[in-house]
């Protein structure tokens, strides 16, 4: 398949979020460049949202100034989403782990359904390049807190 055909639509939703920032003022990141204006954000649920226990709920991802492409597709200013659940950001110069706290969306997905146990949870997005390594500068969302009851 032609890598241009694999390119997925850039999300241009008018939703505010904080810009990507460097950790501690030092860019410990991979070597794939990102647009310095890039913004990734969680469009739903909102920070402080209460979600129903025992039922899957939708989480959708927003991205501005970059495109979404499946893993292994190397195209300028693209990457794919990783949803971090109840964890901090991983090292920015290594592949993003793949486990129950680090969900990979290597097919270029921009939303998912998740189910979490009752309690307080955090969600955060981190963009990864074709090889699951954060960009330079790293592109990640604000961490939000949700409650499952």
> The tokens 């890598």 sit on which residue?
3
In a domain, 97, yes or no: yes
* Residue 98 included in any domain: yes
Asked whether residue 115 is domain-assigned, the answer is yes
At residue 135, the pLDDT reads 97
Domain that holds residue 57: 23-148
* pLDDT at residue 10, as a whole number: 27
**CA–CA separation, 36 and 119 (whole Å):** 35
Q: Is residue 11 part of a domain?
A: no
Residue 63 CB neighbour total at 10 angstroms: 27
Q: What integer pLDDT is reported at residue 29 of this predicted model?
A: 66
**DSSP collapsed to 3 states, the chain:** CCCCCCCECCCCCCCCCCCCCCHHHCCCCCCCECCCCCEEEEEECCCCCEECCCCCEEEEEEEECCEECCCCCCCCCEEEEEEEECCCCCCCCCCCCCECCEEECCCCCCEEEECCCCEEEEEEEEEECCCCCECECCCECCCEEEEEC
If one counts the domains in the chain, the total is: 1
In a domain, 88, yes or no: yes
Domain annotation covers residue 8: no
What is the structure's pLDDT at 35? 96
The tens place of each residue's pLDDT in the chain, 149 residues long, gives 333 333 222 222 222 233 333 334 444 567 899 999 999 999 999 999 999 999 999 999 999 999 999 999 999 999 999 999 999 999 999 999 999 999 999 999 999 999 999 999 999 999 999 999 999 999 999 999 999 99
Can you tell me the distance from the alpha carbon of 132 to that of 46, in angstroms, rounded to the nearest whole number? 26
Residue 135 maps to a domain: yes
Contact 130, 69 (CB under 8 A): yes
Question: What's the pLDDT score for residue 5?
Answer: 31
* Residues counted in the chain: 149
CATH code: domain of residue 61: 2.60.40.10
36: in domain = yes
């Amino acid at each position: 398949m032609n890598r241009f055909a694999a390119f997925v639509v850039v999300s241009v939703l008018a939703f505010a979020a904080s810009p990507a920032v460097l950790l501690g003022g030092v860019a410990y990141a991979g070597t794939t460049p990102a647009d310095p204006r890039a913004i990734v954000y969680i469009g739903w649920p909102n920070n402080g949202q209460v979600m129903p226990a025992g039922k899957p709920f939708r989480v959708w991802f927003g991205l501005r100034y970059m495109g979404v492409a499946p893993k292994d597709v190397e195209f300028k200013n693209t990457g794919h989403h990783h949803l971090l659940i109840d964890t901090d950001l991983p090292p920015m110069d290594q592949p993003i782990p793949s486990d129950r706290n680090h969900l990979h969306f290597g097919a270029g997905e921009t939303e998912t359904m998740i189910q979490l146990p009752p309690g307080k949870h955090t969600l955060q997005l981190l963009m990864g390049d074709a090889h699951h390594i954060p960009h330079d500068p790293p592109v990640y969302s604000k961490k939000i807190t949700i409650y499952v009851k």
